[in-house]
Amino acid sequence: MRETPLSNCERQFLLKAIEEKKRLDGRQTYDYRNIKITFGTDYGCCIVDLGKTRVLAQVSCELVAPKENRPTEGILFFNLELSPMASPAFELGRQSELLVKLNRLLERCLRNSKCIDTESLCVVSGEKVWQIRVDVHVLNHEGNIMDAASIAAIAALCHFRRPDVGIQGEEVTVYSTDERDPIPLSIYHMPICVSFSFFLQGTYLLVDPCEREERVMDGLLVIAMNKHREICSIQSSGGIMLLREQVLRCSKIASVKVSEITDLINRALENDKKVRTEGGKFGFAESIPKQRITVLKSDGALLEVTNLEQKAEGIASGAEPISDLGRASSPVVRAPGTAQVGESLENAWGLEQLEEEEEEEEPVDQTMDEGQEKEEESLYHKKGEVVVISDSEEEDVVILHPETKVKDSDQQTSSSQQQGTGVTKKKKKPVN
Amino acid sequence: MADCLKDKVGSVLLPGDIFSFESKEEKVICGPGLRRNGDEILVCKSGILRHKQPNMYWIDSQQKRYVPAKGESVIGIVTVKSGDVFKVDVGGSELASLSYLAFEGATKRNRPNVQVGDLVYAQFLIANKDMEPELVCMDSCGRANGMGVFGTGGLLFRVSLGLVRRLLAPQSELVKELDRAFPFEMVVGLNGRVWVKAQSTQHMLILASLLETCENMTAPQRQALFRKVAHSAP
- Asked if B206 and A305 come within 8 Å (Cβ–Cβ), the reply is yes
User: What is the predicted pLDDT for the residue at A313?
Assistant: 46
Alpha-carbon span A72 to A99, nearest angstrom: 31
Greatest Cα pair distance in chain B: 63
| Cα angle B109, B113, B115; round to 5 | 130
* pLDDT confidence of residue A388: 41
Residues of A with Cβ-Cβ distance to B87 under 8 angstroms: none
Separation CA B101–CA B81 (nearest Å): 13
- What's the gap in Å between the CA of A289 and the closest CA on chain B? 18
Q: Calculate mean pLDDT across residues A262-267.
A: 93
- CA quadruple A319, A324, A328, A333: dihedral sign: negative
Per-residue pLDDT for A334 more than 50? yes
Q: Which of A1, A2, A9 to mutate to test the interface with B (most CBs of B within 10 A)?
A: A9
Residue A300 scores a pLDDT above 70: no
Strand, helix or coil for residue B210 = helix
Compute the C-alpha angle A397/A398/A400, nearest 5°. Answer: 75
**A295 at interface of B, judged by CB pairs closer than 8 A:** no
Mean pLDDT of B136-161: 91
User: Hey, is the C-beta of A241 within 8 angstroms of any chain B C-beta?
Assistant: no
| pLDDT value for A342 | 54
Give pLDDT, residue B119: 94
For B4-41, letters b (16+ CB in 10 Å) and e give ebeebeeeebeeebebebeeeeeebebeebbeeeeeeb
Min mean pLDDT across A271-275, A280-284, A296-300, B111-115 is at A296-300
A302 touching B (Cβ < 8 Å): yes
> Rounded to a whole number, what is the distance in Å from the CA of A347 to chain B's nearest CA?
10
pLDDT surpasses 70 at B92: yes
Which pLDDT score, from 0 to 100, does residue B87 have? 94
Question: Can you tell me the ipTM of this complex?
Answer: 0.88
Q: Phi and psi (nearest 5°) for B176?
A: -60, -45
Shortest distance, CA B133 to any CA of chain A (angstroms):
16
CA distance B79 to B82: 10
* Average pLDDT of the segment spanning A366-385: 42
So what's the pLDDT on residue A409? 45
pTM of the model: 0.75
**The pLDDT of residue A316 is above 60:** no
Omega of the bond leading into B54 within 30 degrees of 0 (cis)? yes
Provide the 3-class DSSP secondary structure of residue B116. Answer: coil
Look at residue B209 and tell me whether its pLDDT is greater than 70.
yes
Mean pLDDT confidence for B44-73: 88
Q: pLDDT above 70 covers what percent of chain B?
A: 97
- CA-atom Rg of chain A in angstroms: 23
Of the pLDDT bands very low, low, confident and very high (cuts 50, 70, 90), residue B28 is confident
Query: What's the confidence (pLDDT) of residue A341?
Result: 60
For a pLDDT cut of 70, what percent of chain A falls above it?
Answer: 64
For residue A298, the tally of other CB atoms under 10 A from its CB is 12
- Domains annotated for chain B, with CATH where assigned, are 3-60 (2.40.50.100), 73-150 (2.40.50.140), 155-232 (3.30.1370.10)
Concatenate the DSSP letters of all residues of A128-167 into one string. EEEEEEEEEEEEE-SS-HHHHHHHHHHHHHHH-EEPPEEE
Q: How near does any CA of chain A get to the CA of B52, in Å?
A: 28
With 0-12 CB in 10 A as exposed, 13-18 as middle and 19+ as buried, what is A62? exposed
- pLDDT by residue (tens digit) across A169-209? 888 899 988 888 899 999 999 999 999 999 988 889 999 99
Residues 6 or more apart whose CB falls under 8 angstroms from that of B68 comprise B74, B90, B92, B96, B124, B127, B133, B191
